Structures are given as structure tokens and as C-alpha cells.
Amino acid sequence: MTLPVDHSARMGRVKLSLRGLSVGDALGERFFSPWVRDACLTQRIVPEGTWRWTDDTAMALSIVEVLEQHGQIEQDALAKLFAARYMDEPNRGYGPAQHDLLRAIHRGADWQVEVTELFRGSGSFGNGGAMRVAPIGGYFADDLSRAAAEAAASAEVTHAHPEGIAGAIAIAVAAGWAWQWNQSGRTSPTSELLHAALALTPRGKVYQGIELATRVPLDDWEFDAANLLGDGTNVTAMDTVPFCLWTATRHLDNYVEAMWTAIKVHGDIDTNCAIIGGIIALAVGEDGIPQDWQRNTERLPDSSIS
């Protein structure tokens, strides 16, 4: 397949989103430790040492590689990369169902069959499709409908349930809109991010959560918002995506504030921070992600950031 003439520029956006995602993922993961929370949260001090990223970033790396090679989501290639990275490092925090699925794919099983058999045939509606998808919004930021379609294709490899796919669509669209917002001079109200995501998200529980998020004032207490929208504790798309979109909308011009908001409410901290970070990076650029946070984060493979 011929790559688009602006492939290099698109990949620049992809890697920017990946940077925001990985830093958020690695920082958020540290705050599952009660000792880190006690020592760092009240004074907003980031933990010392290297922050190790999780499966959120590992799976996003495979998406980035597929986009680099194909300029779109090639599902078979993505499934193989997911499985290969999993086999290299299975202890990155993958969910139980993904352990079984990715092992099966590595053994040569047909992912299209395996993914539909998860959870007694209903497919997964977890937040894994959403956690890794923001770089797709970066690549297709000029065409939000295409971003939605490619996000759906990426989610289908591991999440056959419509809600798992809907969550990925919403986040990719929001990421693309964030880049558009910055490029256009930041003149639109940030609340339009939620409406852009809502417009392309299929009807269902994720859609209903985003619709509710459009009615939660952005100056509300974040704990009240999380109580209404979910904070990822259930590790589902519908329990994660609405709050992440609300937080990204609230702090679209401030990566640091967005991270502290997500950390404060707890829930699925690393995934929430990864999702929000992948969106906001496209609005603030690399300079908006603190350099010391980037240095503290475990290094990404050279091929994914060069």
C-alpha cells in the first residue's frame, strides 16, 4: 500500500501522542503504591526513580509500528505484534483475558475466532481498546471519521464487544480533535471535544456516559465527576472513557493538571493517565509534557520515537 505523502508529519503526531500516553501510563502506575500516594500526592511531588510503563504503552507501541509500516490499521499485523510483544514481556500488567488471547494468537490461533469467545462469547468490553488508541487519532487528525473507523479496527483485534470498540472510537476522535483545536489557535471551547467524540461514538453505554459528561460542569469537583461518570475501577470502557474525556476537556491546555486530577481520583490510574495523556499531548506539544517527567519514564524503543 502506498503511504500518504504526509506520512512523516502524521507519524510525528503519532509519536507525540505516544509520548504523552507513555508518560501518563508510567506515572499513573506508580501511584497504585500506597506509600507513593502518601509521600507524593498531597504535595504533588512526582516519585523518584524510573517509572516503568505497562501494557497500555506496550500495546500502543504495536499500533505505532503498524501505522508506520502501513499507514492504516492492518488487523492481522497488529494481532501478531500484540502477541509478540506480550510473549517478550508478559508481566506488563495485562488483564487475565488478554493473557489467554495473546498466548493463543502467538500459537497461531485465528484472532477473529478467539476474540469472539472471550467472556462466554460476549467479547470484552474492557478499557484496553481505549487505553492504547490515542496515537491513531494523531495519525488521522485531519479526518475524524477515518480516525473512528481505524480505531474500531484496532479495538476489534482484542475487544469484540461493541462497548469496547465504542470506547476506542471515542478516544481516537478526541485525540484528533485535540490536535485540530491546537492547530486552529485554540479558539473553540474545549467542551466541543466531548461533542466531537459523542458525534462519532456508536449508541450504547459508552455513548450515554459521554453524553452525561457533556452535562457535568468543567469546574465541578473531580470526585463528583468521577462518581457520576466512573473512574475505571471496573476496568470497563463505559466506566473509564467518559471521565477521561471530561478530564481531558477540563485540562486540555495543561498536561500536568490533567495528570494530577486523574491521579487524585484513583480508579484505574495508569490507564486513565495514559488515555488522557495521549489526548492532551496533541493539544500541548512535547514542550507541554514536563521534561523531568519524560526523563523519569522508562525509555521507549528507539524505533518508536525517532
Q: Using one digit for the tens of pLDDT, what is the confidence trace for 76-99? A: 999 999 999 999 999 999 999 999
pLDDT at position 304 over 70? no
**How high is the pLDDT of residue 305?**
58
CATH 1.10.4080.10 fits 7-305, yes or no: yes
**How high is the pLDDT of residue 166?**
98
Q: Using one digit for the tens of pLDDT, what is the confidence trace for 170-209? A: 999 999 999 999 999 999 999 999 999 999 999 999 999 9
Phi–psi pair at 233, nearest 5 degrees: -55, -35
* CA Rg value for the chain: 17
Domain locations in the chain as residue ranges? 7-305
**How high is the pLDDT of residue 120?**
87
Choice among 118-122, 167-171, 175-179 with the minimum mean pLDDT: 118-122
Angle between helices 192-200 and 237-250 (to 10 degrees): 150
pLDDT band (50, 70, 90) for residue 302:
confident
**How high is the pLDDT of residue 106?**
97
Distance between CA atoms of residues 145 and 134, nearest Å:
14
Per cent of the chain over pLDDT 90 is 97
pLDDT band (50, 70, 90) for residue 236:
very high
pTM for the complete prediction? Answer: 0.97
CB–CB of 244/99 below 8 Å? no
Distance between CA atoms of residues 182 and 254, nearest Å:
12
Choice among 48-52, 222-226, 298-302 with the minimum mean pLDDT: 298-302
Please give the grid coordinates belonging to residue 86: 506480550
